[in-house]
Structure 1
Amino acid sequence: MRVTRPMLALTGAVVALALTGCGSGGEGQGDGEGKVPATATGSLERLAAEVKCKPNVQTDADEIRQALCGNGDGKFVLATFATDRGQREWLNGAKDYGGYYLVGRKWVAVGQERTVTRLRSTLGGTLEEGSEHMNPGGSHNRGDHGGDGPHG
């Protein structure tokens, strides 16, 4: 089956919404924010093993491999990419739908903010946040909670 970019972005976006749309799960901001290890590399299975999850592969194509995962930190999507460009294109499309992303070289973990922050303590990587209009209460919006802002 030929997987197109719009299909990949839509798949990622649907999964991101499913995972991040249900409650924030608590504070947990300090968890995993201490020492950040060197960014992990490897196959989908190797990365999943690092965070102690058995991947349930949903997409297995030349350009992307994507799986649902869960461990003590929560549920998340783990995706690996054939190219850096493919990864960035996928991220650009998926981030329009909100969510929290832990980004490594040719891989991404997507889930609730608390979950990806905790995964970072094992996998390293960079935290990125999706579109502010799809992340109500996300860090983009934290300045508006006082009630004096335009959205209060």
Structure 2
Amino acid sequence: MTRVMIGAAAALALAGCGSSGDSKAVPPTATGSLESLAAEVKCKPNMQTDADELRQAICKNTDGRFILATFATDRGQREWINDAKDYGGYYLVGRKWVAVGDDGVVKALRGTLGGDVEIGTNHKAHSGAHSG
């Protein structure tokens, strides 16, 4: 669980607010190691976690900064995403990998890696003042 929380905190630090909108044609979802996925989006991964069940790196390319993580199992990936989404952000999800960043970065990555976009909890909706 500690790695999940570290990953979620890192995702929160990199995730920003952005506008949502339609994206261009989405290619087939990429597969492969963290290094091969990073090479596809032209980033040199700065490894943060290198364990059997989770490999996680901070990446930066011309589109911006993002977290790239790969997982040993589908279940481990889903548990990580479910926990991390409590921190907000945008998640590009492929088979046993996820990229986390702001809306614009995730959309740009999707144009190369494919995958599905998931959006974390928006806590700003809960922090506004109530009139009455």
Pair in the same fold by TM > 0.5: yes
Relative contact order (alpha carbons < 8 A, sep ≥ 6): 1 or 2 greater?
2
> Structure 1 residue 43 and structure 2 residue 38: aligned?
no
Q: 1:125 is matched with which residue?
A: 115
Q: 1:92 is matched with which residue?
A: 82
Match for residue 3 of structure 2 among 3, 8, 31: 8
**Structure 1: runs of 5+ lacking an equivalent:** 1-5, 142-149
Shift of 1:93: 0.5
Please tell me the root mean square deviation across aligned C-alpha atoms, in Å: 1.7
Partner SS for 1:132 = coil
Q: 1:146 is matched with which residue?
A: none
Map Cα deviations across residues 66-101 of structure 1 (whole Å, 9 max, x no partner): 000000110000000000000000001000111100
Map Cα deviations across residues 93-121 of structure 1 (whole Å, 9 max, x no partner): 00011110000000000000110011000
- Structure showing greater radius of gyration is 1
Match for residue 68 of structure 1 among 58, 64, 74: 58
In structure 2, distance between residues paired with 1:84 and 1:8? 16
Superposed structure 1 runs of 4+ greater than 6 Å apart: none
In structure 2, distance between residues paired with 1:11 and 1:18? 11
In structure 2, distance between residues paired with 1:28 and 1:91? 20
In structure 2, distance between residues paired with 1:106 and 1:28? 24
Shift of 1:41: 0.1
Q: How many residue pairs are counted as aligned between the two chains?
A: 127
In structure 2, distance between residues paired with 1:55 and 1:107? 14
**Structure 2: runs of 5+ lacking an equivalent:** none
Q: Conserved in 2, the CA contact under 8 Å of 1:29 and 1:114?
A: no
Shift of 1:16: 1.2
Shift of 1:8: 2.1
| Identity in percent | 65
In structure 2, distance between residues paired with 1:38 and 1:19? 26
